[in-house]
């Protein structure tokens, strides 16, 4: 159709001019970034004090746990899977942490316990998904009910956290400049983003995850360790949920079985808005981070506005999600 020569013919080096400047795969991420800047611009234009370092810092502080969840979810969705259990695992993590601390266990042990629990849950779901060839949707839905139910086995009431180590971590402010400060949660979340970028984009494990998401059968025929990667992403997601649960218990300073209800959907929304394809095979960790920030900025806008109910956040997220899914579809159609 176009007149450009097919790359096979001739011996002349075919450079595909202009193709490399903006690879098509990055476009959705750029779109999310532009959206973030736009939303922030709207806030700056309408409200005094919106454009301040602390507002940006608060975006990270209030969403540190969601960032970690979205990072884990990105791994799963890149392989073409989904993990619905993350919100419930966050709740279970807060519950186990709070109950453990209440029982007098030392804080480091509680942290290890929670991390081990989250990873194990992820491992079990991953094994079932891969070896019994059951849809991730169903398996993680079961995992969600299981984790949510386990919360109430630990305790039906909210348990507040009084452990001094946890309290110090939760309240300590790390000053960045004169007026702006962040919490340790932000540091941890950003460290996890950095590690995830490295693992997903730079290691064989990560590249295999993309291959599995692109075409699982091909990946298998290419001799790649499909089983290890497919199970591995659920372990990562479980581990991230546990970490997010710990951050959430720092944020709330309590454990409760009704914490983080529906948070898995926020995480999925952030990942999708961040440009990751639900069908797998394409997406960036940084996109998911941007996705979370977009959700955060909407929330901030609505709180600055003052009169709107916070439920308007949900309406905005729903609209955005639809918009991005449609955009992805249109974008995919345009590709050859």
Partner 1 sequence: MSVDAKQAPAEPTPLVRMRGISVEFPGVKALQEVDFRLFPGEVHALMGENGAGKSTLIKALTGVYTPAAGVTTLDGREVSFSGPAEAQAAGISTVYQEVNLCPNLTVAENILLGREPRRFGAVDGRATRARAAELLADMGLHIDPGSVLAEHPIAVQQLVAIARAVAVDAKVLILDEPTSSLDQDEVAELFRIMRHLRDRGVAILFVSHFLEQVYEISDRMTVLRNGRLVGEHRTSELSRLDLVSLMIGRELGALAEVERLAGQAGEEASTVPVLEARGVGRKGSVAPFDLRINRGEVVGLAGLLGSGRTELARLLFGADRPDSGQVTVDGRALHLRGPRAAIAAGIAFCSEDRKGEGVVADLSIRDNLILAMQAANGWARPIPRRVKDQLVEKWIKALDIRPANPDALVGKLSGGNQQKVLLARWLVTEPKLLILDEPTRGIDIGAKTQIQKLVAELAQEGMAVVYISAELEEVVRLSHRVVVMKDRAKVAELDQNATVDDIMRLIAHVDERPEAVAA
∠ at Cα 267 (265, 273), nearest 5°? 100
Nearer residue to partner 1 within complex by CB, 118 or 206: 206
Q: Which stretch binds partner 1 (CB under 8 A): 7-15, 148-156, 234-242, 243-251?
A: 7-15
Question: Segment near partner 1 (CB under 8 A), from 47-55, 83-91, 123-131, 197-205?
Answer: 197-205
Are residues 67 and 189 in contact, defined by beta-carbon separation less than 8 angstroms? yes
H/E element, 174: strand 174-175
Contact with partner 1 (CB under 8 A) among 167, 202, 228, 329: 202
* Contact (Cβ atoms closer than 8 angstroms) between residue 144 and residue 87: yes
Q: Does 329 interact with partner 1 (rule: CB under 8 A)? A: no
* Pattern 282-311, partner 1, x by CB under 8 A: x-----------------------------
Q: Of 40, 50, 60, 210, which lies in the binding site for partner 1, with binding defined by CB under 8 A?
A: 210
Provide the minimum distance between the beta carbon of 276 and partner 1 in the complex, in angstroms, as a whole number. Answer: 12
C-alpha to C-alpha distance for 40 and 308, rounded to whole angstroms: 18
- Burial class of residue 258, CB neighbours in 10 A (0-12, 13-18, 19+): exposed
Residue in 4, 12, 177, 307 binding partner 1, rule: CB under 8 A? 12
Using CB under 8 A as the binding rule, the residues of this chain from 21 to 60 that contact partner 1 are: 23-25
> How many residues lie near partner 1 (CB under 8 A)?
41
Backbone angles phi, psi at 254, to 5 degrees: -160, 160
The nearer residue to partner 1, 64 or 76, going by C-beta atoms, is 76
Closest distance between partner 1 and the C-beta of residue 186, in Å? 25
Residues 6+ apart with CB under 8 A from 84: 137, 140, 141, 143, 144, 264
Rounded CA-CA distance 128/282 in Å is 24
Of 10 and 108, nearer to partner 1 (C-beta) is 10
Report, in Å, the least distance between residue 213 CB and partner 1. Answer: 7
Binding mask 150-169 for partner 1 (x = CB under 8 A): --------------------
Nearer to partner 1, 206 or 245 (CB): 206
Residue 8 or 45 with smaller CB distance to partner 1: 8
**Helices marked H in the chain — which ranges?**
27-46, 53-78, 86-102, 107-131, 136-154, 164-171, 184-202, 204-214, 216-221, 226-252, 263-273, 285-305, 312-334
């Amino acid at each position: 159709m176009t007149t450009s020569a097919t790359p096979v013919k001739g011996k002349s080096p075919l450079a595909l001019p202009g193709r490399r400047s903006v690879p098509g795969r990055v476009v959705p991420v750029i779109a999310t970034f532009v959206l973030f800047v736009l939303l922030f611009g709207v806030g700056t234009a309408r409200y005094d004090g919106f454009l301040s370092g602390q507002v940006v810092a608060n975006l990270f502080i209030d969403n540190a746990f969601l960032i970690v969840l979205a990072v884990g979810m990105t791994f799963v969705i890149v392989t073409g899977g989904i993990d619905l259990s993350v919100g419930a695992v966050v709740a279970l993590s807060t519950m186990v942490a709070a109950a453990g601390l209440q029982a007098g266990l030392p804080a480091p042990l509680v942290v290890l316990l929670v991390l081990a629990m989250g990873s194990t849950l992820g491992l079990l779901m991953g094994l079932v998904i891969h070896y019994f060839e059951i849809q991730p949707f169903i398996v993680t839905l079961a995992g969600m009910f299981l984790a949510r139910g386990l919360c109430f086995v630990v305790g039906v009431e909210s348990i507040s956290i009084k452990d001094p180590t946890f309290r110090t971590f939760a309240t300590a402010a790390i000053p960045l400049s004169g007026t702006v400060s962040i919490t340790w949660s932000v540091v941890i979340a950003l460290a996890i983003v950095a590690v995830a970028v490295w693992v997903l984009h730079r290691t064989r494990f990560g590249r295999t995850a993309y291959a599995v998401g692109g075409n699982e059968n091909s990946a298998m025929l290419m001799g790649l360790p499909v089983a290890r990667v497919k199970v591995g992403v659920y372990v990562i997601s479980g581990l991230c949920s546990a970490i997010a649960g710990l951050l959430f218990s720092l944020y709330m300073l309590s454990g409760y079985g009704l914490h983080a209800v529906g948070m898995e959907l926020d995480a999925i929304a952030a990942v999708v808005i961040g440009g990751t394809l639900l069908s797998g095979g394409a997406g960036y960790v940084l996109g998911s981070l941007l996705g979370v920030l977009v959700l955060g900025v909407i929330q901030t806008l609505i709180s600055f506005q003052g009169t709107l109910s916070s439920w308007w956040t949900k309406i905005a997220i729903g609209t955005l999600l639809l918009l991005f899914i449609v955009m992805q579809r249109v974008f995919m159609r345009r590709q050859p």
